Amino acid sequence: MKIALIAHDGKKADMVDFVLKRLLFFSSLKLELVATGTTGSMLKKAGVKTIATVNSGPLGGDAEIGAMVSRGEINGVIFFRDPLDKHPHDVDIAMLMRLCDVHNIPLATNYNSACAVVEYLSSQTK
């Protein structure tokens, strides 16, 4: 099972907090993690040992994860978006969200919905 982790700049601390509070789940041997560049770097610095990274979002990372979704390589996406900020790569973000819908991939865009996605994915790994 592979989960993608993405967070806008204003939400990166929330992502680190979210993952660290669920480190047992996120460090499971059955789980692969992939993150956009800066989010992945912050998670590694916080102690998440095994996480692959793609480019940062504005440099195409969201599109890279979208391609993984379309190839069936991603089982869930946790994307802590900052809805109050404008992003130069909004089209990539919209594309990623659309691909999750097209391929029926669970997508969480805030802390509470991420809790629900983790609960669902936990039930799928048993």
How many angstroms separate the CA atoms of 48 and 16, rounded? Answer: 9
**What type of residue is 49?**
K
Q: Which residues sit opposite 32 in a β-bridge? A: 2
Tokens standing for residue 61 = 């990372």
Q: Identify the three-state secondary structure at position 88.
A: coil
Residue 14 is a catalytic residue: no
**Residue 85 to residue 26: CA distance in whole angstroms:** 28
Exactly one of 9, 62, 85, 101 is catalytic; name it: 62
Using an 8 Å Cβ cutoff, are 43 and 16 in contact? Answer: yes
Q: Which residues are known to be catalytic?
A: 62
